Amino acid sequence: MTGQPAGTPCWERAELPPQPQLHGVVTADVVVVGAGLAGLSCAYHLAERAPGLDIAVVDAQHPAAGASGRGTGLLGPRAGPALDRAVRRFGAATAGRMHRASRQAVRDVLDLCSRLAVPCGLRPGEQLMATRSPAGLAALARQARACRELGLDVPVLTPAGIRERVGVSYRAALLHRPAATLDPAALTCALARACADKGVRFYGRSPLLALRPGDLVGPELVLPHGRLYAGQAVLAVNSAAQALELPVGTVLPLEVYAVATAPLSPAAYELLGGRAGPAVVDAVPLAPYFRLLPDGGLVAGGGTASVPAGLAAPRLQARRERAWARLEHWLRGLHPDLARTRVTHRWSGRIAMTGDDLPVVGPVPGYSDVWYIGGCGGHGLALSVAHGAYVAGALLGEPDPGEPLPWHRSRAPRLPLYGPVRPLLRAGVDAHGWAVRRVC
Ligand SMILES: Cc1cc2nc3c(=O)[nH]c(=O)nc-3n(C[C@H](O)[C@H](O)[C@H](O)COP(=O)(O)OP(=O)(O)OC[C@H]3O[C@@H](n4cnc5c(N)ncnc54)[C@H](O)[C@@H]3O)c2cc1C
């Protein structure tokens, strides 16, 4: 279908619970639409905290079909804009709370992985936000200052400190902990299996077409071959919010890219960090990043993004080819051995961005008992799991949900995206990618 993400990620296909198509009239206490990390985490935490609740999960395709199964698996603390910008926009107290919430989200995923005993190649470690460019150095300095002012423990690494971890000539880095790398598709599928074990019902190949407030109890969901009536609904559809015309502000689908290689030579693998090596992201937003795989290969992502809406399939494919070619060119510059390493996988996926870089987690305006989760951008692995658990608590009316999420809200800022504005927006995203390539 036009505009769908392309290529197969490098993750092995994991076992999934049975998911018949939804036919006829179905009821549930809670329906979760979207079987990515957010939706499945919500279903899992609901089932765990309220055994006996009748929960249905519906997906347009199958669990892990969206960004959750197509990510690159860097688990690290990050929420919303870079810390210095967060301080300027939201004030120091909120920015600090955001960062701490994202750190907690990472810890919770590590805990979930050990509770579920997920075979997902989990490697707890460090995440370096590093740079080789003057622009990145300036961005890093601003972030380091913000960390200091907020009292966050984010050490600055000199080139020597970086070389102890990765043999690439970066000029400076911030060391983020806790962090890890993992196979995001395996985690998503393991969550689906854990939900099924707790009695959650799955419906696959059942796209939500429309949502109505419902005349009886709760919302009515219209699907191609039936209807679903539920007391409460969670729309964990991430980048599909716009296609469904959900009134959650502007949540813009962006296509992003990744490649994976065959195993590197043992020398190159060790030099790039080895088994305990950190994931390395760039201080310049959207710049390429990499991590090593347990099997000896390397995954790289980033570098550019596209606004897929309104692009015909051939143009979209041409953009993908260019993005993958640039990523390959970039990774070959990391180490001479990589010049000869085969790229085995090239793929893309859809993330969901908001105008202020913050997610949307909250009740959908105009509908009672309907929540939306999405808009984490390219940093949603840990946050999506946290959001699912948070919404589960809210639906169950848990007496002490703790502090509300800093981005608990029903709408992102609205951006005028239609008519002549869309090409302008596309040009803006392209120009940003071009600028990134010049400095990185
Ligand atoms: C290439 C790539 C690399 C990434 N790398 C990282 C990374 O290293 N670290 C990180 O933190 N984050 C990363 N991300 C982002 C992260 O994967 C996402 O933020 C996160 O997985 C979002 O989870 P989700 O459950 O909200 O959405 P999704 O996983 O997108 O799930 C949404 C689900 O909704 C379903 N759906 C959509 N429309 C409908 C409908 N009408 N009816 C029914 N179901 C529907 C979809 O089929 C999908 O299964 C990456 C993303 C991509 C694409």
Judge whether 1 lies within some domain.
no
Judge whether 132 lies within some domain.
yes
Task: Output DSSP code: residue 408.
Answer: B
Q: What is the mean pLDDT of residues 185-207?
A: 98
Judge whether 8 lies within some domain.
no
Judge whether 379 lies within some domain.
yes
Residue pair 124/171 in contact by the 8 Å Cβ criterion = no
Judge whether 350 lies within some domain.
yes
pLDDT, tens digit, 9 for 90 and up, residues 238-272: 999 999 999 999 999 999 999 999 999 999 999 99
pTM comes to 0.96
Q: Ligand 1 centroid vs 171 CA: distance in angstroms?
A: 33
pLDDT, tens digit, 9 for 90 and up, residues 97-153: 999 999 999 999 999 999 999 889 999 999 999 999 999 999 999 999 999 999 999
Residue pair 220/212 in contact by the 8 Å Cβ criterion = yes
28 pLDDT above the threshold of 90: yes
Using CA atoms of 25, 31, 34, 38 in order, give the dihedral in degrees to the nearest 10.
Answer: -170
Instruction: List all residues whose CB is within 6 A of at least one atom of ligand 1.
Output: 33-39, 58-61, 65-68, 70-74, 207-208, 236-238, 240, 244, 256, 258, 301, 349-351, 373-374, 376, 378-381, 384
Residue pair 302/289 in contact by the 8 Å Cβ criterion = yes
Residue 227 CB neighbour total at 10 angstroms: 16
pLDDT, tens digit, 9 for 90 and up, residues 194-204: 999 999 999 99
Residue 34 CA: nearest ligand 1 atom is 34
Positive or negative, the CA dihedral 403, 409, 415, 419 is positive
Q: Ligand 1 centroid vs 378 CA: distance in angstroms?
A: 9
Residue pair 353/308 in contact by the 8 Å Cβ criterion = no
Contacts of 335 (CB under 8 A, 6+ apart): 167, 168, 264, 268, 271, 272
Q: How many domains does the chain have?
A: 1
Q: Ligand 1 centroid vs 66 CA: distance in angstroms?
A: 4
2 pLDDT above the threshold of 60: no
List of E strands, 91-225? 123-131, 156-157, 172-181, 201-203, 210-212, 220-223
Domain that holds residue 98: 24-439
Judge whether 18 lies within some domain.
no
Q: Ligand 1 centroid vs 432 CA: distance in angstroms?
A: 23
Per-residue pLDDT, 1: 44
What CATH number should be reported for the domain holding residue 76?
3.50.50.60
246's tokens: 């959900």
Judge whether 15 lies within some domain.
no
Q: Determine how β-strand 298-306 pairs with β-strand 289-292.
A: antiparallel
Q: Ligand 1 centroid vs 102 CA: distance in angstroms?
A: 17
Mutate to test the pocket of ligand 1, among 351, 373, 391 (most ligand atoms within 8 A of CB): 351
Residue 208 CA: nearest ligand 1 atom is 42
Per-residue pLDDT, 3: 66
Per-residue pLDDT, 435: 65
Residue 5 CA: nearest ligand 1 atom is 53
Judge whether 366 lies within some domain.
yes
Q: Ligand 1 centroid vs 271 CA: distance in angstroms?
A: 32
